Structure 1
């Protein structure tokens, strides 16, 4: 639970804030800047919300002293119409400001954004520390092709050029992207990962470009977009092949101009980030079909990395399986489990359509099923065991069920893809064309995206 420190010289304001925010956060209070600074230095504070005018030490002085010690987000509460104080506070490093009388819903939104910002910042610091200490990248392999890729990462990292990572879902494309960032000169700056297929089409501009307060209905405050968040660091666009053509054009313009303008603003913001893209789709074929821009392809396909699927790396199955056995044994505080020779043979003979991600899931399920210190064939999921050369009647029924589900998924993917193509990507129009409820179609699209992730 995050801890918020409210600072105000009016006791009834502090009591109101404590009553309102204590449902979701640990709330501490202070009546002036000196008391707040003492609490800040002794308690683990995640966010400070402070009035400006207070006795002994005002909010601006408190902001200055906090920023000398830490980068904890700071929201300033200013008198109505006192824009000068707000501007000065932002220049001094405040995350945001809010005017009196305080609208609690607006403040809730600002608190959530500030804590999200803090969470991302802490994750990046943790990543930098882990990567710089030369711990494992998280990629376990004895495969010759994978080892060649890992050997080239320092060279790729040094060149600061766009990277395109190709590979099936679950092969570890994001791990490769993180390792390139960690070994680059940008390692102290943010690594921003975005799953393109997970962003609703009508939110693309607000998510990527950000917006100013009042830019559109519901824009109650400023938002930093993904492009700006990645400034000086690395932007990782996963599933770039799912990006709509008009959005591809906007991305290309940003790459060409190295600047953006937030929605609701006319001010241009210069950018400098490294772009790493990944996809499990054949972009060259999509160019022929007219669903991917050739000029964007040339922009992103400078350094190209192709990750082999797990079925082409049988030598990795045992090492990866044992890694997850050890990891989950430690996580669940159990003695480390082994893997019987027969169970290992079953794993090695399976084709792994879901790659490393599927193998992790299988090991976790097997551990839950196992009642001994060794994973046996009986502990493995039916769809894995049913892949063997023989099958009994129960295995046949299980495989029949799996096959029905696979065919259903393929049909749904085809239905959604054709419908969105015909409607130009407009979900409302697509629902109308299919004579179905818009929400039902949105759920179907989400299911398809989940299957592909």
Structure 2
């Protein structure tokens, strides 16, 4: 039997020929390719000759037992999942095998339904891990180390970055707060001819209007009270490189006019000086606002919009790339476990189910906050439902009422739209924080302004 067959190859390891034959026939009926080994030595030798997709192995065997074989197999190839079969009386041995790295264990006599589900889960886990490794390789080649995801939306984003980065075009990044626009900006710069020069990031919403001109363009000594020395602005700091203007929609009309002049003329004018200074800067801007609507309302300059909107990349919200949630959660889990010096083995299926059901109004930033909270509160080995915020815990399935008479029926969460789930999560978080909008916004991973805009939208909807 060759290993070029596309079906998954399972190595069955058991010193009992009859039990081995039974498993071979059963697994072949389920569509798998089967190879056999009589003991641990033979199993290790097989894996060293070539990989199997999964090893199903008894724990008690002559020569090399299942635990020793598991250690040897995973030492040679850590990517092969090993399932251990053990009698009820050998549970301590099975636990020892798990410590040695086995994926899971099954007790004899085997429950065939449980066996089938465990095999499918192990193979799916291995498949996802290989996909993630391939994706990480692609992202590493593109120099996108901080961008994590395997969804079609993220693949398309990576392709767009590869196309846009080598050019000198101004890029406008759009998308909701917390989607990772700053990571996309860094990726564009890292893959551009300017990558060896500075990337200067400016949050336009965080700088007071009175200081914005000086912050961006610099000032001369004595230009205003307190200007006891000349200062280079952010554009001068980014000369030869890239400047990232986050929340560009927050700029005032006078600052919009000054930014337009820089884009048109390629020079800046420091506060307190009449002399223009040439700068060679690529501009990447980002906003979570609808700039076209702002243009229509005359709160954003149309000419500046078209100068910024040479190439537009929309960063998708997390609810539109649900496939990325497990990968992102594991990524943040590993980061915060290392940061907090904790050994965390993973996330329970129940907790992952809640992460997948949550609408994530705060997007990736909210998920990051949730995982950091979970690691900090964790006392065991796995993040479970109890380490998640209350807003997520309430998404867990509730037991049905005992009778229809003593309880009103509850609407099934699966009937809710994503917008309704987002609204529910926001109001639940506000309830938990006693109406404190700043704290609610922090927990949701969104800005206070974004929260106020959403609440205003809900109020308008209720009045219509």
Contact between 1:329 and 1:337, CA under 8 Å: does it hold in 2? no
Please show how residues 386-405 of structure 1 align to structure 2 within 5 Å: 386-388=394-396, 390=398, 402-403=430-431
Secondary structure at the aligned position of 1:276 is classed as strand
Q: CA deviation at 1:388?
A: 3.9
Q: CA deviation at 1:214?
A: 1.1
Please show how residues 399-418 of structure 1 align to structure 2 within 5 Å: 402-403=430-431, 409=437
Match in the other structure for 1:265:
273
Does residue 314 of the first structure (1) align with residue 322 of the second (2)?
A: yes
Does residue 189 of the first structure (1) align with residue 197 of the second (2)?
A: yes
Does residue 327 of the first structure (1) align with residue 335 of the second (2)?
A: yes
CA distance in 2, matches of 1:317, 1:374: 17
Contact between 2:351 and 2:388, CA under 8 Å: does it hold in 1? yes
Contact between 2:437 and 2:451, CA under 8 Å: does it hold in 1? no
- Taking structure 2 as the reference length, the TM-score comes to 0.57
Does residue 247 of the first structure (1) align with residue 255 of the second (2)?
A: yes
Q: CA deviation at 1:291?
A: 0.9
Match in the other structure for 1:418:
none
Change (3 A) 1:385 1:399: farther
Does residue 149 of the first structure (1) align with residue 157 of the second (2)?
A: yes
Q: CA deviation at 1:265?
A: 2.0
Please show how residues 104-143 of structure 1 align to structure 2 within 5 Å: 136-143=144-151
Match in the other structure for 1:208:
216
Based on CA coordinates, which of the two structures has the bigger radius of gyration? 2
CA distance in 1, matches of 2:273, 2:281: 21
CA distance in 2, matches of 1:194, 1:359: 24
Change (3 A) 1:313 1:399: same
Match in the other structure for 1:256:
264
Q: CA deviation at 1:157?
A: 1.0
Gaps of 5+ in 2: 1-138, 402-423, 442-446, 454-464
Change (3 A) 1:399 1:261: closer
Secondary structure at the aligned position of 1:169 is classed as coil
CA distance in 1, matches of 2:385, 2:216: 47
Change (3 A) 1:451 1:218: farther
Q: 2:172 aligns with which of 164, 184, 188?
A: 164
Per-residue CA deviation, residues 340-375 of structure 1 (Å, 9 max, x unaligned), is 001000000000011111101101111122211011
Q: CA deviation at 1:337?
A: 2.8
CA distance in 2, matches of 1:331, 1:404: 28
CA distance in 1, matches of 2:307, 2:216: 18
CA distance in 2, matches of 1:336, 1:164: 39
Match in the other structure for 2:351:
343
Contact between 2:143 and 2:187, CA under 8 Å: does it hold in 1? no
Match in the other structure for 2:57:
none
Change (3 A) 1:450 1:382: closer
CA distance in 1, matches of 2:434, 2:176: 17
State the number of aligned residues: 287
